[in-house]
Amino acid sequence: MSRPSPKRRQRSSRQRREGWFQRAWRFWMNDIRSRRSCLGRALSVTAGVIIIIALVLIVVGFISARSDLFLSPETTSSRPLPDAPTSAPVPLPPSPTSLILPEGLDRAIVTNVTDGDTIEVSFGGVTERVRLIGVDTPETSHPSRPVECFGREAAAFTRAMLSGQTVVLEADPTQDNRDRFNRLLRFVWLPDGRLANYEIIAQGYGFEYTFRTPYRYRAEFRAAERAAREAQAGLWAPETCNGERVPAGSATPIARPSPTPLSVATPLPPSFDGCRTEPNAARAPNAPVVIVSIDKRAEIVTLRNLSSEPVSLDGWTMCSMRGAQVHQGIGGVLAPGETRSFPRAGGRDIWTDNTSDPGALYDAEGRLVAYWND
């Protein structure tokens, strides 16, 4: 049996040491040199270039798809927030679409919540106290005032919403940079795009507050306060403070009257057509379930059972009418008076943020139950 020549053994040893890239490159170069015509060499070069570009695109696409692996823990972690004390469930105003997170602003980590409208943040190695613009919550730590009604609840709400969060701080050129206590005056944006100043007012934990000159979002904040007052949310509830700024424990609770049973509306005929059109939008009964809000940025629909009986949502459909798409995740049983949020389950985003996108809610028989005009 013949043995391989030393030159052949040397070549085999070199091939074993080479990686796949070196072998592929050598194969390509040999193929180009073996072509006798210019056209053949050109085709070989072109095929190799195409293969290289395809490999580069595959690698770039993989890195982009898994970009979350390269983000810092601050931007990828989302801690569950503790529950803050709340009053009875009430319909709350939707976040207005005019509140859009600006770009290019400072980011900071909330290290402490002093009270309902004052926090401490850390950014750039410096710790700063921040007073939220446009909102005033009942006092809990004022040096010359007693703890006010709903002050502890407001502080707990802000603490649950902001503690440990990486937030975006927005200054307002119409306001001073700092107040007389040397606190920064800022709007505070949450990672999910909500404006904390607005949320405190909308949920009934604070009052709209204008200091000397109107600020950027005053119209939206005043509308939120009006809606919270009409809904008797939080400190506006008769059984809490009834909207009064009084010391804690001195408010006289007023019993909330029992809700009058809703008259049963005549059901509309089935009109569900795959979320494309809704001829009965103007006649939507909005009962027994009403659409409280649709947070289009966060893809969350909030519903409330207005009736005195439990309502099963199994088989119901929530539609984004502009895109003719279904908001997956609606289901379960709503207790009487219960308000519940339903994040979209799976798939890509369906709600349109920058233009009108009404929502329609259908029961299991395809009848329109509620309609949300955007």
Residues annotated as catalytic are 131, 139, 183
Alpha-carbon gap, residue 372 to 34, rounded angstroms: 70
Burial of 223 (0-12, 13-18, 19+ CB in 10 A): middle
φ, ψ at 180 (rounded to 5°): -70, -15
Structure tokens at 93: 């105003």
C-alpha span between 149 and 249 (Å, rounded): 7
Rounded to 5 degrees, what angle do the CA atoms 15, 17, 23 make?
45
Work out the widest C-alpha separation in the chain, in whole angstroms. Answer: 109
CA distance 182 to 118: 12
Interhelix angle for 20-34 vs 38-65, to 10°?
A: 160
Cα–Cα dist 88/239, whole Å: 10
Cα separation, 148 vs 240, in Å, equals 11
